[in-house]
């Protein structure tokens, strides 16, 4: 039997596929991370941040590929925040947590730079393995239609400008051997060559432009990213008879 996949559209004036943050620079990568999609789905399902095992299981089961529908712009947002050495917060560990750093650290406001994708639109195809474990792909589709909380794409202000799931339920699912094949099959809106990412071994007929070991998985119990997985990037060419 052919595996069944769920088709999502991510579109918003601003989105952030976060990469590795270096100091106060929040960088972005070209494609969403496995951890970001896990968080997005978990948010729709109503998981809480402390439900670490449930997050981990979702990420472990997740197989996905993504395709850019058009070239995206970039915006670097500059932010300031006034932090105080005396800022403290209570913790469930029984003792409050404070901020480190000498007096000089707090003389001026904290300056932050956060990159965003501007005007991007992506198609994401995903499945969960094994398929019969809860939550199932159907549970996911239901949760995305009526999520437990408002969805955002990467960062809180990145609110989607369209429903992630297609209005026609038949268009929300696709059966193909791999996620890469699914991306090649889903109708496109233009005749451009479209940039895509898929896990190694999950491609279709599209040539791999580069393969890389990507650290986009989070260890949900430690809260840190670690390990790598092999992914391929390529360019999906329009079929000869397209348009």
Partner 1 sequence: MTTPRFLQIHTLHAYSAALLNRDDTGLAKRLPYGGKMRTRVSSQCLKRHWRWAEGAHDLHAIPGAEKAVRSRDIVSRSVIAPLREAFDGEVLDAIEGEFQKAVYGEKATSSRQPLLLGYPEVAYLRKQAEAIAREYPSDAKAAGEAAAAFAKEARANFKQIREQTALPGGLTAALFGRMVTSDPEANIDAAIHVAHAFTVHEEETESDYFSVVDDLRGEDEDAGAAHIGDAELTSGLFYGYVVVDVPGLVSNLTGAEASAWETAERDMAAQVVEHLVHLIATVSPGAKLGSTAPYAYAQAMLVEAGDRQPRSLAGAYRKACRPLVADALERMRDHLAALDGAYGNGEARCAMSLEPVELPETQIVALPELASWAGNAVLNGKAA
Residue (of 34, 32, 31) closest to 60 by Cα position: 34
Q: In the chain, count of helices (H) and strands (E)?
A: 5, 11
109 in contact with partner 1 (CB under 8 A): no
Residues 6 or more apart whose CB falls under 8 angstroms from that of 21 comprise 27
Pairing mode, strands 4-15 and 62-68: unpaired
Binder of partner 1 out of 1, 92, 170, 210 (CB under 8 A) = 92
| x-marked contacts with partner 1 along 123-162 as a string, rule CB under 8 A | ---------------------xxxxxxxxx---xxxxxxx
Please give the backbone phi and psi of residue 185, each rounded to the nearest 5 degrees, phi first.
-85, -35
Q: Residues 36, 124, 164, 179: which binds partner 1 (CB under 8 A)? A: 164
CB 134 → partner 1: shortest distance, Å?
17
Cα–Cα distances in Å, from 91 out to 96, 99, 119, 149, 170? Answer: 6, 13, 39, 24, 46
Closest CA to 5 of 62, 68, 46: 62
Output 97 or 209, the one with its CB closest to partner 1.
97
> In the complex with partner 1, which residue's Cβ is closer, 74 or 229?
74
Taking the complex as a whole, the smallest distance from the CB of residue 171 to partner 1 amounts, in Å, to: 11
87 binds partner 1 (CB under 8 A): yes
Question: Would you count residue 13 as binding partner 1 (CB under 8 A)?
Answer: yes
- Binding positions for partner 1, rule: CB under 8 A: 11-14, 44, 46, 49-50, 73, 75-79, 87-97, 111, 118-119, 144-152, 156-165, 167, 223
């Amino acid at each position: 039997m052919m595996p069944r996949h769920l088709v999502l559209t991510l579109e918003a004036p601003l989105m952030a596929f976060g990469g590795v943050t270096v100091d106060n620079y929040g960088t972005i990568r070209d494609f969403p991370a496995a951890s970001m999609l896990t968080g997005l789905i978990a948010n729709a399902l109503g998981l809480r941040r402390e439900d670490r095992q449930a997050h981990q299981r979702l990420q472990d089961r997740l197989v996905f590929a993504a395709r850019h529908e058009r070239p995206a712009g970039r915006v670097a947002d500059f932010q300031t925040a006034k932090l105080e050495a005396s800022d403290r917060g209570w913790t469930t560990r029984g003792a409050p947590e404070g901020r480190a750093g000498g007096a000089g650290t707090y003389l001026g406001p904290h300056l932050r730079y956060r990159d965003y994708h501007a005007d991007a639109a992506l198609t994401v195809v995903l499945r969960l393995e094994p398929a019969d474990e809860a939550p199932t792909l159907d549970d996911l589709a239901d949760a995305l239609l009526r999520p437990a909380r408002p969805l955002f794409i990467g960062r809180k202000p990145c609110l989607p400008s369209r429903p992630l799931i297609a209005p026609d339920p038949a268009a929300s699912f696709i059966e193909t051997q791999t996620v890469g094949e699914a991306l090649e099959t889903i109708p496109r809106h233009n005749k451009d060559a479209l940039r895509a990412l898929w896990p190694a071994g999950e491609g279709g007929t599209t040539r791999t432009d580069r393969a890389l070991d990507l650290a986009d998985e989070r260890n949900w119990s430690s809260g840190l990213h670690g390990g790598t997985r092999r992914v391929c990037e390529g360019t999906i060419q329009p079929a000869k008879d397209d348009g």
